[in-house]
Structure 1
Amino acid sequence: MVCKRFSIVDLLVLALCMIFAATFFFLISWIRFSPNSTPLPNTDLEIISRDELEIALENAAMAGSKNLFIAFINRAYVEPHENEYPSMLDLFLEGFWEGEGTRQLLDHLLVVAMDKAAHERCEYRRLNCYMLDGDGDGDGDGDDFAGEKIYMTGDFIEMMWIRTSFLLNVLKKGYNFIFTDTDVLWLRNPLTRLSMNETFDLQISADSFNGNSSSELNHINTGFYYVRSNKRTISLFETWYDMRNNSTGMKEQDVLEQLVSRGILDELDVTPRFLDTLYFSGFCSDSQNVNMVVTVHANCCRTIGAKMVDLKAVLRDWEGFKNNRISDDGFSFRWTNHSSCINSWVQ
């Protein structure tokens, strides 16, 4: 048997290669696991370390920013009311399709489902979906809030607080968002009427607008608002949510309005902007110019059935306007009376 002899040069080269390889693997390990280092992109470790909510938020967020839109649904909002289509979710999505400059916004909408049926319908629609169970812990094992929750009942109030808790969590993760109720029709892109810089911490819709966007006397509506994630807004949402056990019989909107009236915004240095109903309108206060309207909210309404009847009328009015733009000033246009919602309070 002949043994090959290695020269000193060969041995030195082999030793240097081994040292280089050991150094390389050490650096890779240090970069990946050091607490002060930037994680490597697109690694399995990175995906495992993030929870499902972070992944859902990232998927929905606009490119290069941490801005997105959030809406909640339950079974009552995805199934036909009294066995008649469309569902409330159908109407909500139709608003994006029929609106001007709104279709592409669906890519950045995160739909939070409160029960399995709602989540399945969301996925069927190929939206950005996140499953939240009735306890609000995101494990997807409950259907506590699947049915219709009549306005101001105990279940309705509890569902609103679960929603507030979830949105607080989103703020803590550093995301800015427009929250929208599913009974809000987006007829134009709201980003064209909102300030997207850091001037305002909270831009919130109103049931009625007194003409002053800084006035805390405006009657707020938590069905549509844009909030930036920062220490001030996180403190506001924490204070708001902590009030739930001391506000029996009050919905979360009334609690926030009470806090605002007591000076919580000044106390926490939160800069608000109250949105003009000319642009961000609702059944409580119609927009007076269809050329300016951005959203229409089925507020001041008690039941899903009534909301759906009157929202269908809004879409018909909108289609009629688009097909017959009679007046450039928009003031000759008239919305159909919201009769079903008005009558919902006397039933």
Structure 2
Amino acid sequence: MRDLGLRKWQSLSLTATFFIVLLCFLLFHSSDFVRSGDRRRILLKPPTSHSEREKLEQVLSRATMPDRTVILTMLDEAWASPGSVLDIFLRSFRVGEGTERFLDHLVIIVMDAEAFNYCRSLHPYCFYPSIFSHYLRSIAQSTTSPDHNVYIWKRNYVLLQVLELGYNIIFTDADVMWLRSPLSHFHPQNELSISCDLSSYEQSGGNAQDGGLFFLKSTAISIEFFKYFNFMKVLYPNSRASKSLCSYIVQSEDVVAAYGFRIQYVNTTYFGEFCHRNKYQFREVYSMHANCCEDLRSKVHDLKLTLHDWINSRARSSDNYTSKPEAFRWRAPKMCLI
């Protein structure tokens, strides 16, 4: 009986989606909308040249793991400059426990030409989609908080493109320190493995924080789900739910079920974040996310502090330091919470 009800709901949902798409199609082709709404057409389906798609495929094919998994991150000029976030991010792979090998599988998507030039001086797999400048000018005009929304637009666009090319994705924000390999916590039978701080959901008015690191499997289901996710962001560009993948999936349980989109919620104990000061133990944490920190100078300071504490804790452990690992405490965040 339950399966029958679900199938009925799916049928109604697909019918409703069809009429919404049809309505959008008619609006796109009305003369008034064409004169005033070219940018919305771009939001729904950004132009992708065949040559650019080939270039992306070439970068991904060089960086992929044997199972067609790549690690992706995104940043702009502010984060990709000497002494800024990108330098610390790459260093975390080199000083992490068993993480240096992942640099061979890391693709850095940059948002502007300046970031691209700096990225290429540090890392072999940097990609700058040329359509971004036009695409994001259009997006910035349609949102009330362009900085964060523009980032989400670009990230979702990249994720969908890579999924359609048949690559699995480990997406990481660039302000995440890779301290240990997270692969053991990602189970490939699920479309999505993600760490969501559901305890913050009610306290923050419906905004569930994530650990800045998640795994996406390339399947027909995940591709269609992200198409729908992106489409809903077009309809509701400033919705709280569309600003965070965790928030969206929490608020869209019916959509998740209808698509058969399988989600694994990873234990937040292993994926640290600055939002919860001193909650995480050195012996347990796999990554540390510098969220709850808008000021770039403070973020860089506390990321450096995080790596310094991590290096010291490993050195003490290797030297049979008498104190237990539980006795160590992160000094960061420090400036981020002042």
Q: TM-score, normalised by structure 2?
A: 0.73
Mapped to 2, the partners of 1:265 and 1:307 lie a distance apart of: 34
The aligned amino acid for 1:253 is: K
Mapped to 1, the partners of 2:160 and 2:109 lie a distance apart of: 14
Mapped to 2, the partners of 1:276 and 1:218 lie a distance apart of: 18
Query: Deviations for 1:127-166, whole angstroms, at most 9, x for unmatched residues?
Result: 2111124x43xxx889969xxxxxx832331222121111
2:294 alignment partner in structure 1: 302
Give the drift of 1:194.
2.3
Mapped to 2, the partners of 1:154 and 1:49 lie a distance apart of: 25
Contact residue 211 and residue 268 of structure 2 kept, 8 A: no
Mapping 1:1-347, distance limit 5 Å: 51-62=54-65, 64-80=66-82, 86-133=83-130, 135-136=131-132, 153-195=145-187, 197-198=188-189, 200-207=190-197, 219-221=208-210, 223-250=212-239, 252-254=242-244, 257-263=247-253, 264-285=255-276, 287-325=279-317, 326=321, 330-343=325-338
SS in 1 for 2:292: coil
Contact residue 178 and residue 226 of structure 1 kept, 8 A: yes
Mapped to 2, the partners of 1:184 and 1:164 lie a distance apart of: 18
Note the residue ranges of structure 2 that are not aligned, 5 or more in a row. Answer: 1-50, 139-143, 201-205
1:43 alignment partner in structure 2: none
Give the drift of 1:330.
2.9
1:58 to 1:337, Cα distance in 2 relative to 1, 3 A: closer
Query: Deviations for 1:272-303, whole angstroms, at most 9, x for unmatched residues?
Result: 11122221111123553211211100112222
Give the drift of 1:305.
1.8
Mapped to 1, the partners of 2:134 and 2:208 lie a distance apart of: 37
Q: TM-score, normalised by structure 1?
A: 0.71
1:202 to 1:328, Cα distance in 2 relative to 1, 3 A: farther
- The root-mean-square deviation of aligned C-alpha atoms, in Å, is 2.9
Give the drift of 1:327.
6.4
Contact residue 209 and residue 276 of structure 1 kept, 8 A: no
Give the drift of 1:205.
2.1
SS in 2 for 1:75: coil
Query: Larger deviation: 248-257 or 332-341?
Result: 248-257
Give the drift of 1:308.
1.0
Mapped to 1, the partners of 2:223 and 2:84 lie a distance apart of: 34
Give the drift of 1:259.
4.4
Note the residue ranges of structure 1 that are not aligned, 5 or more in a row. Answer: 1-47, 81-85, 146-151, 211-216
